[in-house]
Amino acid sequence: MNKKIIIGSDHAGFNLKNKLIQFIENKGIEIDDAGTYSTESCDYPKIAKEVAEKISSKEYEKGILVCGTGIGMSIAANKIKGIRAAVVSDTCSAKMSRMHNNSNILCLGERIVGEELAKDITEIWLNTDFLGERHARRVDMIE
């Protein structure tokens, strides 16, 4: 499995996505950008599907999606088998989405969380491991 991260956004998440790319690269983590590449209006389900399919196929281990609220990206990504996309707007949820739910896509809303909070959420999410055990049974039930 590729340890690189993949990130994508729509126009409403474009600015935060670019700030997160720089933040993640500064941590020494490789990250690929699935677009969009401007603030020109685009359809978020296409970006969510591309990122989710690449994670589902094990091309990438984890991904991040950013739109205005994170909700649309999450709904679209969760349509793909094997995806557990979590909309997160606080650090506790970031940690729990990894520990208990083994989320593999972090969804953020540029209009909801500020840049510094988004960086904190991202760092916690990337560095928190899945606990497994009873939680693995529950994640398996989702599948």
Q: Which pLDDT belongs to residue 142?
A: 79
Catalytic annotation, pick one of 11, 67, 92, 135: 67
Q: Which pLDDT belongs to residue 2?
A: 53
- Tokens at residue 98, please? 């990894």
Is 11 designated active site?
Answer: no
Q: Give φ, ψ of 79 to 5 degrees.
A: -75, -15
Q: How far, CA to CA in Å, does 9 sit from each of 27, 92, 107, 130, 133? A: 20, 23, 10, 25, 33
CB neighbours of 88 closer than 8 A, spacing ≥ 6? 70, 94, 97, 106, 107, 108, 121, 125
10-residue mean pLDDT series, the chain (143 residues): 85 98 96 97 98 97 98 98 97 97 97 98 95 76 78
Q: What CA–CA distance (Å, rounded) separates 2 from 16? A: 24
Q: What CA–CA distance (Å, rounded) separates 141 from 74? A: 19
Is 67 designated active site?
Answer: yes
Cα of 47 vs its chain's centroid, Å: 12
Structural domains for the chain: 5-142 (3.40.1400.10)
Catalytic annotation, pick one of 11, 42, 100, 135: 100
